[in-house]
Chains A and B, each alone.
Chain A
Amino acid sequence: MKLITAIIQPAKFKDVKDALAKEGITKMTVMNVSGCGQQAGYGETYRGQDIEINLLKKVMLQIGVNDKFVEPTIKAIIDGARTGNIGDGKIFVTNLEECIRIRTSERGGEAIG
């Protein structure tokens, strides 16, 4: 079992969600986050005062998957999120120790799927 964490452009979230659904992956947790990477930020102007916004708004997805879904999930996220520009985001894949469904107390791969 792996936990896939992806940080993407908010504007591409809908495309990522659609691409994941096409691969049969419909379970996810989505968060609004802010952060910065190589992307330099952008400027806003209030009464002529330029303000540099350094921490950018991003969307973070977390998806717990069984091993055979890891590659399809990664592929779907890239398909949906990639524009080719700096700021497209990152995907982290980490090992997942255990997963428990609260309603039934099922454990492991059963509980994730």
Chain B
Amino acid sequence: MNRTHYQKKKAGVWLALAALLLVVSPSWHGAPLYSAEATLEQRVADIEAYMNNSGRVTTAANPPVESKVAGPGPGHNAWMMTSALLVLFMTLPGLALFYGGLVRSKNILSIMAQTMGITGLVTILWWLFGYSLAFSSGSGPEGGSSFIGSFTQFAFLKGVDSMPNTDYSAWISQNVFSMFQLMFAIITPALILGAIAERMKFSAVMLFVGIWMVVVYFPMAHMVWGIDGFMNGVWNAKSSIKAIDFAGGTVVHMASGWSALVLCIILGKRTGFGKRPMAPHSLVMTMIGTGMLWVGWYGFNAGSALAADGIASTAFVNTTLAAAVAGFVWPMLEWIFIEKPTVLGFCSGIVAGLVVITPAAGFVTTGSSVFIGIAAGIVPLFAVVKLKKWLGYDDALDTFGIHAIGGTLGALLTGIFADEKVNPALSANLHELVGKTLWIEQLKAIALTIGLSAAASIIIAYAIKRVIGLRVPEIVEEQGLDIHDHGEEGYADFQIIIR
């Protein structure tokens, strides 16, 4: 190892960290002026609003009286903090174990390191300007549009404190909301790791994710969930595409899945792909990860109600049924058409069911969720077993087959099965479309998502290939990424089994 080169690199990292610490700015919070004391009726109405998760009656503006329950509502806030940690649990360690078990033992730590690297990198971006780009109002005084929010409004989480942001919820703290949404921003790029496992350089992974978040994720999150988002059919009456996405079928699963396909094609296949055995080294680990993903997914789906209310209950039940049904259908089809019901089949079916129900979770009836579960056990299985073979790309751990195909299927099925009786929020702006042509709006959202993810990923991947290269050398691929990229071994006291 060349020492001077190493030290220069270290100096650069210190400089970057110092620059980060210099730009912290204090948060500011203005005190409103009130002209009158709240009446008993107004105070009761506020408590009713909390129970029903609707907007406060007493406000600083109209009527200008001080609310006696001015802060966040404890129940909703508690559920959102719980949901945020459940979604983090999906990534650390759920997804890391799920993917880690699927790679060969010499690459286990590369998955762990990339997952944790993404967690840190995305959190820093989120604090700097990510949350602002995704969730500030694009029509506010500090710039932005329906495609992306303001760069500065919430930069450094300025003004994001325990008071709710009523654009999204009257009863959960905005800082809790921002952390909940951060966990989604972390797991999304981590999903891409599955497609590029066992051959992409750590430095190239970090660089790709850093740019991809800004170009794809923050705009997607703003378009679909931002209060004035281009594709936010539920809350934005003026949205151009009146699509719905409950917990992230487009933003999370389609964006990551389609980008993963593009990246794994540009990156190329693993050396010896198709000729040498590349069996998962620990399906036990994968099963543990699957269980954690399922548990964590309650935070992902039921938490996306942004309240501990009836919609969250519906999403909770639908999540359970779709995952269980798909997790049963997939291995049964394997048993009938391939050979045996496999553990990886159970795991894949469960994750596919969770992916496909994600955009629909709080919008459909329990019956529909069973149907969605059956479809989730069939379509991604076909993509993973047949489509991958026909097209010949090396999507190492099937990010495309499960997340892109599953996410797309889910987005479309949501358009077909969404029901106003299940979620009254659909009545506000979409009464004319629900149950009729909503699926056409979903198709438009699907097209925009695939277009943006694929086009951006092509440009970012080729740019990185030109500048620092994407892959490790072939000999490193044979030795495993762990020793080369991280200087450690996952199983230091054990022999790597030759196959």
Contact = CB atoms under 8 A, between A and B. Distances in A.
Nearest to B477: A11
Given A44-B489, A57-B496, A11 B483 contact: no
Nearest to B487: A45
Contacts of B276: 14
B11 interface: no
B61 interface: no
B483 A10 contact: no
A32 B272 contact: no
A14 B495 contact: no
A11 B487 contact: no
Interface string A26-60: 00001010100000001111100000000001010
A13 to B, nearest CB: 6
A46 B498 contact: no
A44 B487 contact: yes
A12 interface: yes
A14 B487 contact: no
B498 A32 contact: yes
B475 interface: yes
B463 to A, nearest CB: 30
Interface in A54-101: 57, 59, 83
Contacts of A13: 498
A82 B272 CA distance: 18
Contacts of B478: 10-12, 14
A44 B498 contact: no
A32 B488 contact: no
Given A44-B488, A44-B489, A45-B487, A11 B498 contact: no
Nearest to B476: A11
Contacts of A83: 475
Interface in B437-485: 475, 478-479, 483
Contacts of B496: 10, 32, 57
A10 B498 contact: yes
Contact of A14 (B272, B483, B489): B272
Nearest to A46: B488
A37 B495 CA distance: 19
Contact of A11 (B475, B488, B489, B497): B475
Nearest to B272: A14
A11 B473 CA distance: 12
Question: By DSSP majority rule, is chain A's interface helix, strand, loop, or mixed?
Answer: strand
A30 B498 contact: yes
Residue among A14, A34, A43, A46 facing the most chain B CB atoms (10 A cut-off): A14
Contacts of B272: 14
Nearest to B497: A32
A32 B276 CA distance: 18
B487 A59 contact: no
A44 B276 CA distance: 28
A11 B492 CA distance: 17
A45 B497 CA distance: 23
Contacts of A45: 487-488
25 contacts: A10-B478, A10-B479, A10-B496, A10-B498, A11-B475, A11-B479, A12-B478, A14-B272, A14-B276, A14-B478, A30-B498, A32-B495, A32-B498, A34-B495, A42-B483, A43-B487, A44-B483, A44-B488, A44-B489, A44-B492, A45-B487, A45-B488, A57-B495, A59-B498, A83-B475
A12 B477 CA distance: 11
A83 B498 CA distance: 20
Contacts of A34: 495
Contacts of B479: 10-11
Contacts of A30: 498
Given A10-B479, A44-B487, 8 more contacts: A10-B498, A14-B478, A32-B495, A32-B496, A43-B487, A45-B488, A46-B488, A57-B495
A59 B479 CA distance: 12
Contacts of A43: 487
B292 to A, nearest CB: 26
Nearest to B494: A32
Contacts of A14: 272, 276, 478
Contacts of B475: 11, 83
Nearest to B277: A14
Residue among B276, B495, B498 facing the most chain A CB atoms (10 A cut-off): B498
Residue among A13, A46, A57 facing the most chain B CB atoms (10 A cut-off): A57
Interface in B249-297: 272, 276
Contacts of A46: 488
Contacts of A57: 495-496
A12 B467 CA distance: 29
Nearest to A42: B483
A75 B495 CA distance: 27
A43 B483 CA distance: 9
Contacts of A10: 478-479, 496, 498
Interface in B126-142: none
A62 B10 CA distance: 46
A43 B492 CA distance: 13
